[in-house]
Structure 1
């Protein structure tokens, strides 16, 4: 009965929404994910990837949790579910990778954010990025970053030559906040990297604005997934089955048309070039007279006692009071009595913070500042100057979805994506 019901629903799907133009050649991809961390949307996105994995040459699945305690084990658990559903998926399409092939490319990356210099020591994951990037191929390696940039920054530091061999699609936004140090390192030292920095566009994938009732976040599961296969039964463990999947646009971008052209319309969004990344440096406390742009790098420099600790040691804390609650961020010692912390705000709001340390004589500091919704906004003397292949969310006001810049470039295709996915869920009954 379930199969009959789903077949009936799928027959009603509006074909006019199916605007996907398949990518001509299977792209080489490596996914860096913070799956198992604090946000379970990576599990949802991994489910989607596995069900579409026949479309890619998957060369790496790297566990890179800037925050939280995700591990490679979380990737392997998802592949175990995929293995159980693979016989049904393979009845409909060829080209699915074997579970063992996927397990082989699972690697453990850095757990926790990089220190202020942006890198530390190599990980299994960062080494694997280098290894895959240096393979002889006519295609670039597409690195799809669903979390922090820490393993990518480490790989670029350890072998700068890979900069010309990779293309990056990064889900920024809050992930940019969690990996401020590695972002600053890449922007400062690798401005010619080919990268899509998606800070706002990806939000369009979990927006319900103008979406039909059957495809809304809280209804899609019960209408199309329910308990379809082992992946479907597991899906309800994340947000009770409500759709978020904020990382999925990185994958969608690789499924639709020509990924070498960020300016085109695609399931994963449409982007424009950006030639600077805003950076503000503060040497005194901030007040409500200080306004910074969303997603901007803020550097707080402090003078204090000459501590007998190694440079780049985390030694003080910035406690920020935001709309989502209190968050704590580590600050670092630069040596010779100099201290610094990098912070990146992720949304428009007024923030209050306190800076404290247990180091005797450390200058405790309080402050406030205002975050506006301008990205990248006006130029500043301290901005990172970016090369010709750095792309970001379109700043056309008509493409904002609420306050999310470029959100409509993804939201436009959300129904088409979910209806296409519904076909594959039907295969698992």
Structure 2
């Protein structure tokens, strides 16, 4: 009887151990199968139609991700409806996609995470007021899960700046990959706020590396920007029919490297190999303040922030009022009264250039101020007293000369994966035959 009792106890112990092992293995397997959580902020519908191409690409790989946010942040005509229109096309192609993978999300779940974000540049302060998009970002970031939220920014970074202003505690929960460059030019005030006030953000600032996606001097003939559509997209699905509307089907997809970064590689290690590029930690970001008109003797870093400050009369206007503009590169940028007779305007050059500017204002002292500047590569350039001091998780384009494509810093770290990426995408297009 005693032996029987002892044996029974041991069997119970073994049974409990066996169950514990099964539960642990099940937990491990579930963790291993977790899909990356992604949040897209896009200026789809704006002046550059490449976001439509990137959105089609995203939807064709939607089975690989937990898509938690699709936010429209466009300062031109683009709005949330442009994302919804893409989901309508996806819905028509979904039956064929599901035959190949059971992981594709239902259209209703995608529509439910579509939100409207900022529709105007941030003022001098770098933030304005919360939007549906910034509030949704906070909500997603605060979920009680053990995975970070990958915030992939395809346009202005205004909603990220607003979310950080309203809920700075989300910084530990998010990883930001921003397609900067020209977008930094448009979102320079929001960038200034983030770099100045949240330097400990986990951020990949991709100003030029992404350009390796559509610079293909050595691509095989069947997957060049011009040949990929007729060879692999034409005649395949509703999304394929729509694709010809953007750049006549020539692929650009300048924002797609942010998604590809999470798709293929080890995202927590920006210095490693990835379809979305390889990056280096940076401890500063270039910012130059001129308290005068600059000249060709003044050199700044391409993708750096330039701030010109001018003296003028003391006026009584509300904070962040636009009272003058600066014209450069055929475009105008808003200037602000910052108090005590001081005025300021920020700009970020997107390329190596000799730039000229002139100010325009009904205020006599602010009207007709002229100057020039010289922007050079690589970024972040030589140290300046007003540079942003960054934390240990801010990453930028690799400055190595051998990794440039033309003037584009780090672009070869993306271009080298172009064949592999496009070949993989071509297989998915065949699913829609």
Band of TM-score, shorter chain: over 0.9
* Structure 1 portions without partners, runs of 5+: 1-22
1:322-341 equivalent positions in 2, closer than 5 A: 326-341=330-345
Greater share of helix: 2
Match of 2:12 in 1: none
> How far apart are residue 336 of structure 1 and its match?
2.7
Cα deviations by residue, 1:246-295 (Å, 9 ceiling, x for unpaired): 00000001111321111110111111100000110001111111111101
Supply the distance in 2 between the matched residues of 1:320 and 1:331 (Cα, whole angstroms): 13
> How far apart are residue 25 of structure 1 and its match?
3.3
Supply the distance in 2 between the matched residues of 1:338 and 1:227 (Cα, whole angstroms): 59
Residues 310, 366 of structure 2: 8 Å contact kept: no
Match of 2:58 in 1: 49
User: 2:305 aligned with 1:297, yes or no?
Assistant: yes
Q: Which moved more, 1:309-318 or 1:352-361?
A: 352-361
The count of corresponding residues between Structure 1 and Structure 2 is 402
> How far apart are residue 221 of structure 1 and its match?
0.5
1:367-406 equivalent positions in 2, closer than 5 A: 367-406=371-410
TM, length-normalised to structure 1: 0.92
> How far apart are residue 318 of structure 1 and its match?
0.6
Match of 1:35 in 2: 44
Match of 1:203 in 2: 211
User: 2:72 aligned with 1:63, yes or no?
Assistant: yes
Supply the distance in 1 between the matched residues of 2:49 and 2:211 (Cα, whole angstroms): 15
SS of residue paired to 2:271: coil
Match of 2:291 in 1: 283
Residues 310, 335 of structure 1: 8 Å contact kept: no
1:301-380 equivalent positions in 2, closer than 5 A: 301-321=309-329, 326-380=330-384
TM, length-normalised to structure 2: 0.91
Residues 117, 312 of structure 1: 8 Å contact kept: yes
Residues 300, 381 of structure 2: 8 Å contact kept: no
SS of residue paired to 1:175: helix
Match of 1:14 in 2: none
SS of residue paired to 1:86: helix
1:68-147 equivalent positions in 2, closer than 5 A: 68-147=76-155
Supply the distance in 2 between the matched residues of 1:284 and 1:374 (Cα, whole angstroms): 25
Match of 2:6 in 1: none
SS of residue paired to 1:254: helix
> How far apart are residue 361 of structure 1 and its match?
4.4
Supply the distance in 1 between the matched residues of 2:367 and 2:82 (Cα, whole angstroms): 42
> How far apart are residue 217 of structure 1 and its match?
0.6
> How far apart are residue 302 of structure 1 and its match?
0.8
Cα deviations by residue, 1:297-319 (Å, 9 ceiling, x for unpaired): 10100111222321211121111
SS of residue paired to 1:39: coil
Residues 208, 408 of structure 2: 8 Å contact kept: yes
SS of residue paired to 2:362: coil
* Structure 2 portions without partners, runs of 5+: 1-31
> How far apart are residue 69 of structure 1 and its match?
1.9
Supply the distance in 2 between the matched residues of 1:208 and 1:225 (Cα, whole angstroms): 18
Match 2:416 to one of 412, 415, 418: 412
Larger RCO (CA under 8 A, 6+ residues apart): 1
Match of 2:21 in 1: none
Q: Which moved more, 1:123-132 or 1:249-258?
A: 249-258
Cα deviations by residue, 1:105-163 (Å, 9 ceiling, x for unpaired): 00000002100100010000000000000000000111000111100000000001001
> How far apart are residue 235 of structure 1 and its match?
0.4
Match of 2:4 in 1: none
Supply the distance in 1 between the matched residues of 2:286 and 2:365 (Cα, whole angstroms): 32
Match of 2:198 in 1: 190
SS of residue paired to 1:156: helix
